[in-house]
Amino acid sequence: MAKVKIGIIGCGNMGFNHVKNIMSGKVPKMEVAAVCDIDAERRKLIADTYPQIPVFETAEEVYKSGLCDTVLIAVPHYDHPSLAIKAFEYGLNVITEKPAGVYTKQVKEMNEAAAKSGKLFGIMYNQRTNPVYQKLRQMIKDGHLGHIKRVTWIITNWYRPQAYHDSSTWRSTWKDEGGGTLINQNPHQLDLWQWLFGVPDRIYSKVSFGKYYDIEVEDDVMAYFEYDNGTTGEYITSTGESPGTNRLEIACDMGRIVVENNKITFNRNVISEREYNRTNKVPFGIIENWACDIPCDFSGGEQHVGILKDFANALETGKELLAKGEDGILGLTISNAIHLSAWTGETVDVKNFPDDKFYEILQDKIKNSTVVKKVNKVYADTTGTY
């Protein structure tokens, strides 16, 4: 198969990082056929670094150029769906950076356009390449955990100082970013949550906006998830804690699993707790459990490169994508539901999510924005971090 000819739409942090990965040969079945950015400085950086790559100002110019069969969209969040829809209209395959969009209403339109086009649609959920989460997902599917009672994910190692929020005019505003830590740092974990445990049926949250920083969006989140099967969940995240924690704990019939420091520990009961409860006659009986380190590849996986390799392979073989673009709405619905619960003080019905209600409140947030950004021009913009 000929190499996938990919156009990179947007060459900020992540876009430039994707260009570097492909140009260095890390994705053998892909070549960068074109790039674009509305910022003249970014265009110059690409032209100076990779003079062999055609550089355009707009996505439309890339789409019309005929140089690409695929595009990777790496621009601010609000524009992901509209640029993807336009790419499908030009008959191009699409990979979008996370998040799929800012609000579910626009992402549903994108998914409909993808289905109508018949083109391949992926999303940069690179955490799905991590063997630890792949192993955990397989354990759940194979029934090794039994019924999952409670899931707690504390992920507060997202520390971002004020200088980060001031590094670009689009960061940390309702108008340009569409949210804070939920829409920027947490989409991967919210995707992993639904990938592992499914989308919750109901969500109630308490969220702080500008608690630690001079920003208008959320920087501290506590959310409670409920499932119709009795499973409950707690999701705690913040950009204002240092050093922070990343600990996923699962209480289940067969014991307890902890995922921390990219390893899996299973305190495995020798008998299901529910079975023990039915048969035990000892008032203070304790179930014997074994502390097991689950064997796994702890490398973290190929991450962004892995998603690009998987996309190229799917184009060649017809194999199902590891991270389908249509899945982007699932984690986004959880994110939107956390916001909506915080704004209204109500428990949100996630499976019947009120797209229009969320959109209307978001528009009010945008209209009433009062934050004036102080842009830090010194910020290094080619790190590939979110």
Cα separation, 106 vs 99, whole angstroms: 12
For 169-225, how does the pLDDT look when each residue is reduced to its tens digit (9 = 90+)?
889 999 999 999 999 999 999 999 999 999 999 999 999 999 999 999 999 999 999
* Contact by Cβ (8 Å): 144, 150: no
Q: What DSSP letter does each residue of 225-285 carry, written as one string?
A: EE-TTS-EEEEEEESS-SS--EEEEEEETTEEEEEETTEEEEEEESS-HHHHHHH---TT-
Cα separation, 232 vs 246, whole angstroms: 19
Mean pLDDT of 47-51: 98
User: What letter represents residue 272's amino acid?
Assistant: S
**Model-wide pTM > 0.75:** yes
**With 80 as the cut, is the pLDDT of residue 384 above it?**
no
> Band of the pLDDT at 373, cuts 50, 70, 90?
low
Cα separation, 342 vs 365, whole angstroms: 13
Mean pLDDT of 302-331: 98
List the beta bridge partners of residue 266: 257, 292
List the beta bridge partners of residue 184: none
User: Counting beta carbons within 10 angstroms of the beta carbon of residue 33, is it exposed (0 to 12), middle (13 to 18) or buried (19 or more)?
Assistant: buried
Q: Which residues are within 8 A (CB) of 383 and not within 5 positions of it... i.e. 6 or more apart?
A: 13, 17
**With 80 as the cut, is the pLDDT of residue 157 above it?**
yes
* Contact by Cβ (8 Å): 105, 134: no
Quick one: pLDDT at residue 369? 84
**Which of 99, 93, 193, 209 lies closest to 151, judged by CA?**
193
Mean pLDDT of 45-72: 98
pLDDT-wise least confident of 91-95, 118-122, 302-306, 371-375: 371-375
Cα separation, 261 vs 255, whole angstroms: 20
Quick one: pLDDT at residue 38? 97
Quick one: pLDDT at residue 170? 84
Domains of the chain and CATH, by start: 4-127+302-324 (3.40.50.720), 130-299+331-367 (3.30.360.10)
Could you tell me the two tokens for 245? 């924690």
For 341-352, how does the pLDDT look when each residue is reduced to its tens digit (9 = 90+)?
999 999 999 999
The CB density around residue 360, as the number of other CB atoms within 10 Å, is 10
Mean pLDDT value across the chain: 95
Quick one: pLDDT at residue 370? 73
For 67-78, how does the pLDDT look when each residue is reduced to its tens digit (9 = 90+)?
999 999 999 999
Cα separation, 385 vs 17, whole angstroms: 9
**CA-based torsion, 206, 211, 212, 214: positive or negative:** positive
> Band of the pLDDT at 372, cuts 50, 70, 90?
low
Could you tell me the two tokens for 108? 């549903």
> Band of the pLDDT at 296, cuts 50, 70, 90?
very high
Quick one: pLDDT at residue 89? 98
- Which position has the token pair 């039994």? 146
User: What letter represents residue 377's amino acid?
Assistant: K
Cα separation, 296 vs 132, whole angstroms: 6
Q: What is the DSSP letter of 319?
A: P
Mean pLDDT of 233-251: 98
Cα separation, 43 vs 11, whole angstroms: 8
